Structure 1
């Protein structure tokens, strides 16, 4: 009897799950909104960054990041949303599923090709993404770098300070290796000048300085 009572007390004292919340939507970017006073990262999706560009079928670059935000604004800005918390990210944002008039905001955006499913964290919207891709809706009519890869390029040391000198001379356990923009590990490779790593303007310069090409 004592064990049963103790268990009952523990259940009563357990921390309750985060409660749903309601508020008017203010759009920050393609996958982040304010709902009332709460900053929300929409669960299960990933949007191109505001500074990102895409390439259309004719090979022209266009500001797809800003376009996506504008499209999300058209759909949900100022509307009343109900959100169900799922988690909290490292930036302190509430990760949540949010609904306007009973419709899942994230699912609608994925279905229209405005954002992609974030399979790393959820499989909820993979089917909707496949449908948008097959139909060529939204961004699926263009090509672009994955948002996660684009964010890597923005990390210090991963973006060339000179647009004409983009070859990365990296020092690793394998020696001095230079990475061209088409190489597999280019985006994730950072250059630390204090360790003797360098940016090169040509393969000739890199080889002359003692670096060898990456094998991927």
Structure 2
């Protein structure tokens, strides 16, 4: 062993023991700064809206696709939905895209998935959209992660009109009615005339903002508490709840 290798080994041992001016900090692959921007490889498909990606040597993480809901095991079109996700992603490199939320309550990563087309002249494939548009999954509202809400709603309507996938082979009309109802915003009135600051969650992906009388679009903004929106009595209360002042509001 040469002197450089010996010195390197001694330094590593001292650092790990805390006997030098620094310590070795181990980080997981998911904590690396390029995790969100690098290409990933899928290792397995759980169902039509959940898969696993490789995050490191012998390590994987579950990823839940944002904005879609596929049939569960035992339900009509479960196998077809799972197979569709497998076929579109198999042996492909993918990109992941984060919205606002990082994880769901089951500790799964919440992401949009994009299949990278190796042909530079061909389009990449937005998987979440593909699954809805071709009738392999339902659109599912998932505030505050609504960056592609309008696109997904349109995709589902087109799949229904074209009678594709589960809309053709399964009896999901009742669920379609529920979904359609859920897509319509329901206006909620403030509980007190003193609490009229509107905490809005953007469907266009702008996040959580609040508006007060005098802000542009204040009167046109609907507050739907089902989406996590709310009225506040003060700006401080709104900001404590994670909302920021809308850019179209005047400075007080």
Normalised TM-score (structure 2): 0.44
2:106 is aligned to: 91
2:84 is aligned to: 71
How far apart are residue 103 of structure 1 and its match?
1.7
Partners of 1:48 and 1:21 in 2: CA distance: 30
Partners of 1:23 and 1:17 in 2: CA distance: 11
Task: Choose the corresponding residue for 1:111, options 133, 138, 144.
Answer: 133
Which runs of 5 or more residues in structure 1 are unaligned?
A: 1-15, 54-63, 150-216
Aligned length: 123
Q: Deviations over 1:149-188 (max 9, x none)?
A: 9xxxxxxxxxxxxxxxxxxxxxxxxxxxxxxxxxxxxxxx
Partners of 1:100 and 1:52 in 2: CA distance: 27
1:23 is aligned to: 40
In 2, are the aligned partners of 1:46 and 1:115 still within 8 Å (CA)? Answer: yes
The structure with the greater share of residues assigned to strand is 1
Normalised TM-score (structure 1): 0.51
Aligned residue for 1:125, secondary structure, equals helix
In 1, are the aligned partners of 2:69 and 2:137 still within 8 Å (CA)? Answer: yes
Q: Looking at both structures, which has the greater relative contact order when contacts are Cα pairs under 8 Å and sequence separation is at least 6?
A: 1
Q: Report matched runs for 1:190-209 at 5 Å.
A: none
Runs of 4+ in 1 over 6 A off after TM superposition: none
Aligned residue for 1:72, secondary structure, equals helix
1:50 is aligned to: 73
Please report the RMSD computed on the Cα atoms of aligned residues, expressed in angstroms: 2.5
Partners of 2:38 and 2:72 in 1: CA distance: 26
